[in-house]
Structure 1
Amino acid sequence: MAQSRSDADRLFIAGAGIGGLTTALALSRRARPVTVFEQAATIEPVGSGLQLSPNAMHVLRGLGLEEALRRHAVAPRAVRVMSARTGNAIAEIPLGEHAEQRYGAPYLVIHRADLHSVLLNAARASAGITLRLGTRLRDASQNAGAVKVELEQAATDGGAAHVDHGSGAGLIGADGVWSTVRRRVMNLRQAVFSGRTAYRAVIPAEDVPQHWRDVTGLWLGANAHVVHYPVSGGRQFNLVALVSEDWREERWSAPADREALLARFADWPAACRDLLARPPSWLKWALCGMDPGTDWVDGRVALMGDAAHAMLPFAAQGAGMSIEDGEALARAIDRIPDVPRALRSYQAERQNRAEKVLRLARANDRVYHMRGPMALARDAVMRGLPAGRLLARLDWLYGWRPPAAG
């Protein structure tokens, strides 16, 4: 049977996370049929907080999602940088109305599950998006005219899984750090453990002192730092403690030993220790990353988000880069009829910027975790700079927006 034009144009996206759904929505708004398949049988509200800086919000606004997101998000007034040595404030970097006026879009903090829910609801409402849960990619191949995927659909009654095949114009690997598309289809090296671990918890905001509920807190210490901010429309409070340590467990995410975590911060200021003691339990994630310079595209197959450029969270741009990728990828495919050429154009546009952010995150890792005289010098520089100058140093990052149509 001849393949329909719709099927021939269809793009497959592996992974229904933030990057995959953003890409699907951006493609569907350009009338491109999309099938998104996700290994998880159900989409559960998981994760903790994340930051949506103006560069990401420009994309989400263009997808018509800003109003829905604002119902769940908080626009922090500032980033308050604290010293883990003295307990005193080092600097306060303005956000809120200042950032929105400067960059033309808000700087928001939000629970990952809330962002994901907004994206998922929009995808389910789109006639151009087919969403297949409980479906994993077994294999894929390509020729000059098409990409072919082999998909395994889990049985809902406990029986044998169903395997089927599909053909379309391209395959996008949006399947995260442990990407099957990256490993099996493109035969590329996976991300590696960075020597850093993130401990995460979310608690009711009413359990936190009032003066922390409208800012992002950033505590800088030797070989560790702590970040916290309100999420869920201000109803909850997100806490993240990032430390240097070896990972000796078989899983890459796991329940954390609360007492061991608190002992790790025993010599930190009382105000920070008080916050860390409030969650009754913690989860931890091994932080993994990739080196710059890896190819993202092979013919009709492309990587995006963490599958392409997994980075440390020390620039708060993991979600933002995935969201930017999705918009750029859809725009390239809409502009260039030949899919392999379009994917190459997408990589050419995105790779230098994503890898610049990756390097920024690595640099922040060093700066945040300084000790001794280096830490004293860092703090003195930050105190001496006007608050607006500290923000302006990131104009290249936060000031990005998609090119105007035309």
Structure 2
Amino acid sequence: MVQSRSDGNRIFIAGAGIGGLTAALSLSRRSRAVTVIEQADELRPVGSGLQLPPNTMQVLRDLGLEDALLPHVVAPRAIEVMTWRGDAPVAEIPLGALAEKRYGAPYLVIHRADLQAVLLKAARASAGITLRLGTRLRGAAQNSDRIKLELEQAAGEADGEIPLDHDTGAALIGADGVWSTVRRRVMGLRAAAFSGRTAYRAVIPASDVPERWRNVTGLWLGPRAHVVHYPVSGGERFNLVALVEEDWQEEVWSGPADRSALLDRFRDWPGACRELLSLPSSWLKWALCSMDPGTSWVDGRFALLGDAAHAMLPFAAQGAAMAIEDAEALARHLDQGADDIPRALRAYESERQDRAERVMRLARSNDRIYHMSGPLALARDMVMRSLPSERLLARLDWLYGWRPPGA
């Protein structure tokens, strides 16, 4: 069965994740009709924690979402940096009121599912946004005037019939993550590649965690591995991530982890770190995939944002932030350049690409710095101890101090 619809001004977004929903809201606030295509038939609360630095909050605040987010977030007092040699911090990067005063917005942490739920509720309340769950993008074509999409509906698969839709519109935005269909199948670009890094993630009740860690972001540095942790869900839960350099020899890119093997990997680390890692009864793991800078994000009326455009290692805590920044810029350029969509998308890419790739390079640099060993690690620790805490924060002014043009 084939159904056809036509709306030459509609923007289609593939992916109802953080970037896709933010883009839909940003476009809708500019009176643009949007359809979000999502292959999942239900958006379930999955994932772990993520950080919402001030540059992210500038966009979410402009969308009127700050009050809805506040019950779910924690504003950590600081980032405490430790190493595998001992429990005492080698550096402390102040956040809290100091960061908010410096950048005009708070530095927050949140569970990914809570952020997505807030975005989804706002999207469902918007008359300009159509959500099509259980819908897969099968193919797309374009000409100078429009795009044409071929979509599969999940309904009907049980009896062997897969209903197809043909939709037309003004543009297709791939916000469908690391394994983006728009990137690979529509635009013909190289997929993300395994980075040689694996993330082990767990979320536990905050009441299980020593009081010391409940209002800070903890960062432990060590040879070929590091650990990050912070509270989420309004302080009720606690997010733990262990990131290690290792080969991935499994047939799937995510799944349950071997808890005992993970704990053995950190057997020589300080007691406080090992105590935290021993708290979860189970862990999940993800192969971390990334892209190289320099790939185009735009082809005529097709464009990418977030991980689909620039998947990066999570070592700068900016993956979600870059997707949210992308979404604001995309909507702004499509609003300003509505008469020439391809040109507007090229302007979006021109504005965003250098910044996103600078963050990609920062994440790769942090990968090297965090995982140092021997004399290099000792020199790193000495430098960190010698720098005033506010200077450590100031080194990231270019990142956290970003605001949407005109804000």
- What residue identity is the alignment partner of 2:389? A
Structure-2 separation of matches of 1:370 and 1:135? 45
Secondary structure class of the residue paired with 1:137: strand
Query: What's the counterpart of residue 382 of structure 2?
Result: 380
CA drift of 1:85 comes to 1.5
Structure-2 separation of matches of 1:107 and 1:3? 43
Contact 2:76 2:108 in 1 (8 A): yes
Structure-1 separation of matches of 2:273 and 2:91? 16
Percentage of identical aligned residues:
74
CA drift of 1:88 comes to 2.1
CA drift of 1:196 comes to 0.2
Q: 1:279 to 1:334 in 2, by over 3 A?
A: same
Match of 1:354 among 339, 344, 356: 356
Query: What's the counterpart of residue 120 of structure 2?
Result: 120
Q: Is the aligned partner of 1:327 residue 2:337? A: no
Structure-2 separation of matches of 1:194 and 1:125? 39
Query: What's the counterpart of residue 246 of structure 2?
Result: 245
Structure-2 separation of matches of 1:389 and 1:47? 33
Query: What's the counterpart of residue 230 of structure 1?
Result: 231
Query: What is the TM-score normalised by the length of structure 1?
Result: 0.98
Secondary structure class of the residue paired with 2:352: helix
Query: What's the counterpart of residue 131 of structure 1?
Result: 131
- What residue identity is the alignment partner of 1:305? G
**1:87-120 deviation per Cα after TM superposition (whole angstroms, max 9, x unaligned):** 3210111001110000000100000000000000
CA drift of 1:83 comes to 1.4
Structure-1 separation of matches of 2:235 and 2:5? 50
- What residue identity is the alignment partner of 2:205? P
Query: What's the counterpart of residue 24 of structure 1?
Result: 24
Query: What's the counterpart of residue 150 of structure 1?
Result: 150
Structure-1 separation of matches of 2:392 and 2:271? 27
Contact 2:14 2:38 in 1 (8 A): yes
Structure-2 separation of matches of 1:153 and 1:3? 15
- What residue identity is the alignment partner of 2:56? A
Structure-2 separation of matches of 1:162 and 1:90? 59
Q: Is the aligned partner of 1:206 residue 2:211? A: no
Alignment of 1:146-185 (within 5 A): 146-155=146-155, 158-159=158-159, 160-185=161-186
Query: What's the counterpart of residue 77 of structure 2?
Result: 77
CA drift of 1:70 comes to 1.1
Secondary structure class of the residue paired with 1:8: coil
Structure-1 separation of matches of 2:112 and 2:12? 24
Contact 2:52 2:107 in 1 (8 A): yes
Query: What's the counterpart of residue 45 of structure 2?
Result: 45
CA drift of 1:404 comes to 1.5
Query: What is the TM-score normalised by the length of structure 2?
Result: 0.97
Structure-1 separation of matches of 2:287 and 2:404? 32
CA drift of 1:86 comes to 2.4
Query: What's the counterpart of residue 400 of structure 2?
Result: 398
Secondary structure class of the residue paired with 1:325: helix
Structure-1 separation of matches of 2:302 and 2:272? 49
CA drift of 1:400 comes to 0.2
Structure-1 separation of matches of 2:85 and 2:190? 39
Contact 2:156 2:163 in 1 (8 A): no
Secondary structure class of the residue paired with 2:357: helix
Query: What's the counterpart of residue 365 of structure 2?
Result: 363
- What residue identity is the alignment partner of 2:126? S
Q: 1:154 to 1:204 in 2, by over 3 A?
A: same
Contact 2:5 2:166 in 1 (8 A): no
Structure-1 separation of matches of 2:86 and 2:234? 31
CA drift of 1:157 comes to 8.0
- What residue identity is the alignment partner of 1:211? R
Query: What's the counterpart of residue 290 of structure 1?
Result: 291
**1:147-167 deviation per Cα after TM superposition (whole angstroms, max 9, x unaligned):** 100000111683322101000
Secondary structure class of the residue paired with 1:391: helix
Structure-1 separation of matches of 2:370 and 2:5? 55
Secondary structure class of the residue paired with 1:229: strand
Structure-2 separation of matches of 1:158 and 1:119? 32
Secondary structure class of the residue paired with 1:116: helix
Structure-2 separation of matches of 1:55 and 1:95? 14
Query: What's the counterpart of residue 90 of structure 1?
Result: 90
- What residue identity is the alignment partner of 1:276? L
- What residue identity is the alignment partner of 1:384? S
Contact 2:23 2:330 in 1 (8 A): yes
Unaligned 5+ segments in structure 1 are none
Structure-1 separation of matches of 2:120 and 2:106? 22
Secondary structure class of the residue paired with 1:218: strand
Structure-1 separation of matches of 2:65 and 2:142? 34
